[in-house]
Amino acid sequence: MKHLMCCMVAAVALMASGQNSAQQTDTVATKQSRLTLGGYGEAVASRMFYSNNYKRYTDASLYKDAGSFGQVDLPHVVFYVGYDFGRGWSMGCELEYEHGGTESAVEIEEEETGEYEKEIERGGEVALEQFWLQKSFSRALNIRAGHIIVPVGGTNAAHEPDKFFTVYRPEGENTILPCTWHETGISFWGRKGDWRYEAMVIAGLDGDRFNNKNWIHGGAGSPYEFKMATALAGAARIDNYSIDGLRLSLSGYVGNSGSNTLNASGKYDDIKATVGIAAFDFLYDKHNFIARGNLDYGWLSHSLELSVANKASRKDSPSPKNNVAKNAIALGVEAGYDFGSLLDPLHSRGQRLYVFGRYDFYDAMFKTVENMTKEEEWGRQKITFGINYFPIKQIVVKGEWSNRIFKSQFNNEPTVSLGIGYYGLFQL
């Protein structure tokens, strides 16, 4: 409750879900109300037609004809509060509950022993995803300081459930990058004509949180009550809207991660572990047709040295203690057509019914250095087909069939999922 009351003094109207950097209409000059409430949330039910045994990759042949299992989930439930103080000053806050609870969980390790492992993604009881102060000088120049979204990649820039077709967030970016990525720092952003920009200086990632399955995904969190920031990092994004209905975006990140570990043993003293990310994403929304896509490529220097140091960590260390690749990749594209526009009972009520398809390729161990085993199970493709029904603008009902496709020595993983989500901001 203490954390929640803290958040009830904030402002997110300028961002439409964390920054929504690439897609929002800037509201510096048009905002009418000082107080904004809002949020988004998702509820999901899935049936997986494959084994959930922890040995399904190491001994794949034993689980070729496995049965199915089901699960339900609350991937994200988020509350926004915003306040405009006037004279260009505003505050923003976003409080997030992931998977219906705190950011600690028990999971079965998918390697070697299959032991139960307690996972801690971030210290604290809930995720305070954003908390910032902003000074707006004009539509073209705004300065924001505090805990902010890092809009690298398409999903981090637009992560609400009405901004993607799949039941869960796009799997590739959500696997290899922090998502939603939020760090403490300072940001400069604005829009001029058909261009929008954002540049920031933030705390760097934590190298001892990287792993084989998710590359740098865990590096934005901290299991402690503070975030190491010995090394800072830079991130930037630029969006172009020159063509009606089309947004083209480039984003990137660079920063060291070795010195951002809690380095009690001195193992990381000489390891820079520099992370570099280059990303392209786009959105086309016109004529009842929506297409989105992303391509993200990442580099990690000194990946072998970092892997050795992580695996040598104490048993009670929160480090995953496994190999980290020098390169990771995520490619995704989806497209859907609103067939509700052809059906008068839906079209007359402003309802939409998209039929969509999506393709993903991603690999958290795309390239490894010599003397490091490339673990092939983390290179995956995924195809998805489904529908999105919008009974009203703020609510979406989703259904999909997907199949995660591996190399021939592993078993594919088909899944059927249903979900419902909402997103809205309400000025008072």
Confidence band, pLDDT 50/70/90 cuts, at residue 106? low
Nearest to residue 270, comparing CAs of 306, 242, 245?
A: 306
pLDDT for the residue numbered 267: 83
Q: 250 pLDDT exceeds 70?
A: yes
The DSSP-derived string for 274-341 is: EEEEEEEEEEEEETTEEEEEEEEEEEETTHHHHHHHHHTS-TTSSS--S---SEEEEEEEEEEEEGGG
Confidence band, pLDDT 50/70/90 cuts, at residue 286? very high
Confidence band, pLDDT 50/70/90 cuts, at residue 107? low
Q: 30 pLDDT exceeds 90?
A: no
pLDDT for the residue numbered 13: 37
pLDDT for the residue numbered 15: 36
- Written as six digits, the tokens of 335 are 């497209």
pLDDT for the residue numbered 25: 37
Distance of CA 39 to the CA centre of its chain: 16
Confidence band, pLDDT 50/70/90 cuts, at residue 11? very low
Confidence band, pLDDT 50/70/90 cuts, at residue 8? very low
Q: 125 pLDDT exceeds 60?
A: no
pLDDT tens profile 294-329: 999 999 999 999 999 999 888 888 889 999 999 999
Is pTM beyond 0.85? Reply is yes
Residues 6+ apart with CB under 8 A from 321: 310, 311, 313
What percent of the chain is predicted at pLDDT more than 90?
75
The average pLDDT across 18-41 equals 63
**Distance in angstroms between the alpha carbons of the first and the last residue of the chain:** 23
pLDDT for the residue numbered 128: 86
Rounded to whole angstroms, how far apart are CA atoms 309 and 290? Answer: 45
Query: pLDDT higher for 3 or 89?
Result: 89
The average pLDDT across 89-103 equals 85
- Burial (CB < 10 A; 0-12, 13-18, 19+), residue 86, is exposed
Q: Where are the beta strands (DSSP E) in 123-273?
A: 127-138, 141-149, 182-192, 195-203, 232-240, 246-256
pLDDT tens profile 411-423: 999 999 999 999 9
Question: Is the CATH number 2.40.160.10 carried by domain 2-427?
Answer: yes
Ordered by start, the domain boundaries in the chain are 2-427
The average pLDDT across 273-302 equals 98
Confidence band, pLDDT 50/70/90 cuts, at residue 109? low
Q: 123 pLDDT exceeds 60?
A: no
Secondary structure of residue 349 in the 3-state scheme: coil
Residues 374/364, Cβ–Cβ less than 8 Å = no
Highest mean pLDDT among 127-136, 261-270, 279-288, 318-327: 279-288
How far are the Cα atoms of 212, 244, 363 from residue 197, in angstroms, in the given order? 33, 18, 29
Q: 113 pLDDT exceeds 80?
A: no
Helices first, then strands: H and E counts in the chain: 5, 19
Rounded to whole angstroms, how far apart are CA atoms 16 and 231? Answer: 30
Q: Of the ranges 118-127, 147-156, 229-238, 390-399, which one carries the lowest mean pLDDT score? A: 118-127
How far are the Cα atoms of 8, 84, 111, 236 from residue 4, in angstroms, in the given order? 6, 19, 38, 30
Confidence band, pLDDT 50/70/90 cuts, at residue 48? very high
Confidence band, pLDDT 50/70/90 cuts, at residue 18? very low
How far are the Cα atoms of 171, 172, 402 from residue 175, in angstroms, in the given order? 6, 5, 16
Q: Of the ranges 92-96, 97-101, 258-262, which one carries the lowest mean pLDDT score? A: 97-101
Residues 6+ apart with CB under 8 A from 22: 151, 154, 157, 158, 196, 237, 239, 247, 249, 281, 283
Rounded to whole angstroms, how far apart are CA atoms 166 and 150? Answer: 22
Confidence band, pLDDT 50/70/90 cuts, at residue 375? very high
Rounded to whole angstroms, how far apart are CA atoms 101 and 125? Answer: 8
pLDDT for the residue numbered 142: 98
pLDDT for the residue numbered 265: 65
Residues 266/312, Cβ–Cβ less than 8 Å = no
Rounded to whole angstroms, how far apart are CA atoms 240 and 229? Answer: 32
Q: Which phi-psi region, left, alpha or beta, contains residue 266 (left: φ > 0; alpha: ψ -120 to 50)? A: left
Rounded to whole angstroms, how far apart are CA atoms 131 and 145? Answer: 9
The average pLDDT across 144-154 equals 97
CB atoms within 10 A of CB 85: 12
The average pLDDT across 91-96 equals 94
Secondary structure of residue 60 in the 3-state scheme: helix
Residues forming beta bridges with residue 91, ordered by sequence position = 83, 133
Nearest to residue 191, comparing CAs of 30, 32, 25?
A: 25
pLDDT for the residue numbered 105: 61
Average pLDDT, the chain: 89
pLDDT for the residue numbered 21: 40
